[in-house]
Chains A and B, each alone.
Chain A
């Protein structure tokens, strides 16, 4: 499915908060069908960059293009409409509704009417939530809530999926299952995953972009990144030293 066509592209993307250049001139390209991990030490600008991609923030300068659309001009509700699914860091689900209703709300927007309930069944199976479909989201464990939100993203059949730390708060086994699910999703959608957890990134086996002080420090496979001197200094190096 991977092609040379860019599905998402940023040009000299800059976001300034007061005196801080949180994102400082990032050129980033994601090709259609690609799975990319975004890593970097705390304060590297990952979250800001993610929120710029998701249209939650307006850039100070530069552009974000999805296919041939300028995302920076879209309203939040239009981002989902053009085919981008977003999962923010903390699971944001409707606590007072059941698992099935949560997923239905997303499915109904894209598919509507009769088709929506079939999509709900499919997504619940995929995320292994079928047996908890009538449980209220408030009563779920943290990991399950993460999956409900992933299910909501899937139900909209997006072309591009942005995941912000999908394994935050998950156990090792849950994170492994999430990695399987992400690889499975990658068969039909392009993905950008922001992640702290290096084991998870390794399991995904995806290309990695390293951000540091709001700029791209390195790009490549996980092994190339591990071999990179500059990266080792700012990020991996410190971790290895600690081990």
Chain B
């Protein structure tokens, strides 16, 4: 059954570009990039039990790192690696001081949000041309607008810039690979200890596990995934600006995971897809007060399905399948 559903997902993704319009393909590509960002939060929040408001920060730092490396070297694959590494370094610094400083989970959420908003302010003040790293001008609130596209760079061959449809496949492949990686991680002994930390941190420490180190590793991994998503995003749209560090963007990541279902991994992906489709539908349908309508729908989802859409749907499916069949004929 799992193999069947996995094959189904891969086939569906492969077939989509033939069915959808080019605009829809481009749009779905960015939604999958957001799904990757949602996945990064579910890893640290759903499995590590730590609410991070900083995923937008790692996403943005990844985007800027992609721009800086890409503009200076012209190598988009190197830039993508730079995006993941830069975000991982920021996560490592932030995580080291908070986890080893024994900052409580509540303050951790506040600190990560604060860091994101500080980045928003700081990047906004870089309009002056002297704020440049090599050839890459940071550009203040306008951001970087000459970010190179993602391209396939094989040694000895000219770089092949990815057209929308190949880019869709590349992003889909990234998403599926990282989803598989996260699934492997949470089922591994490391992941089982992580589940124990989420349930009772002090008890897990008494068993001998260094809780701080494990939280840090998870957080760095989560940051790297968010950074990779940011790099893909900058390469997808050829721009990155401080808007990625905004309060609404930080909150949106948390909403995606809440709507889809925390602690399920694929729930995060579904959440991002559903919310983003809803947003763009409401925008296109020119519903007045789009954000009010969207807000009401989100509140309704959270109230009706407190554990998220995916667990609710799967649970309903299980109940239907497990329902005892009506008795055939009972002897009188």
Contacts and interface: CB of A to CB of B under 8 A. Distances in A.
Nearest to A81: B208
B211 A105 contact: no
Contact of A109 (B199, B200, B207): B207
A109 B209 contact: yes
B187 interface: no
A239 interface: no
A105 B207 CA distance: 8
Interface in B187-207: 189, 192-193, 195-196, 199-200, 202-207
Given A101-B192, A105-B193, A108-B189, A80 B207 contact: yes
Size category of the B interface is 10 to 19
A73 B125 CA distance: 47
Interface in B203-235: 203-211
A48 to B, nearest CB: 18
Contacts of A95: 199
Contacts, number: 52
A105 B211 CA distance: 13
Interface string A62-97: 000000000000011111110000100000111111
Given A77-B210, A152-B207, A105 B200 contact: no
A106 interface: yes
B199 A77 contact: no
A121 B195 CA distance: 22
B208 A110 contact: yes
A76 B210 CA distance: 9
Contacts of A154: none
A76 B193 contact: no
Interface in B8-61: none
B192 A105 contact: yes
Contacts of A194: none
Size category of the A interface is 20 to 34
B206 A94 contact: no
Contacts of B203: 92-94
A96 B208 contact: no
B199 A108 contact: no
B196 A76 contact: no
A80 B206 contact: yes
A93 B211 CA distance: 17
Contact of B200 (A75, A79, A92): A92
A156 to B, nearest CB: 7
A96 B200 CA distance: 10
Contacts of B209: 77, 109
A78 B207 CA distance: 9
B54 to A, nearest CB: 26
B193 A108 contact: yes
B206 A105 contact: no
B91 to A, nearest CB: 22
Name which of B192, B195, B207, B211 has the most chain A CB atoms within 10 A of its CB: B207
Nearest to B190: A108
B192 A80 contact: no
A156 B207 contact: yes
A97 B207 contact: no
Contact of A105 (B196, B202, B210): B196
Nearest to B200: A94
Nearest to A107: B207
A77 B196 contact: no
Nearest to B193: A105
A228 to B, nearest CB: 35
Contacts of A113: 189
Contacts of A152: 207
A208 B202 CA distance: 30
Contact of B211 (A77, A79, A101): A77
B196 A94 contact: yes
Given A92-B203, A94-B203, A156 B196 contact: no
A94 B199 contact: yes
A95 B199 CA distance: 8
A110 B203 CA distance: 15
Contacts of B202: 76, 92
Nearest to B211: A77
Given A95-B199, A96-B199, A106 B192 contact: no
Interface of B: 189, 192-193, 195-196, 199-200, 202-211
20 contacts: A75-B205, A76-B205, A76-B206, A77-B205, A77-B206, A78-B208, A80-B208, A92-B203, A94-B200, A95-B199, A96-B199, A97-B196, A104-B192, A105-B193, A105-B207, A108-B189, A108-B192, A109-B209, A112-B189, A156-B207
Counting from the closest, the 9 A-B pairs by CB-CB distance are A80-B208, A109-B208, A77-B205, A76-B205, A81-B208, A94-B199, A77-B210, A106-B207, A92-B203
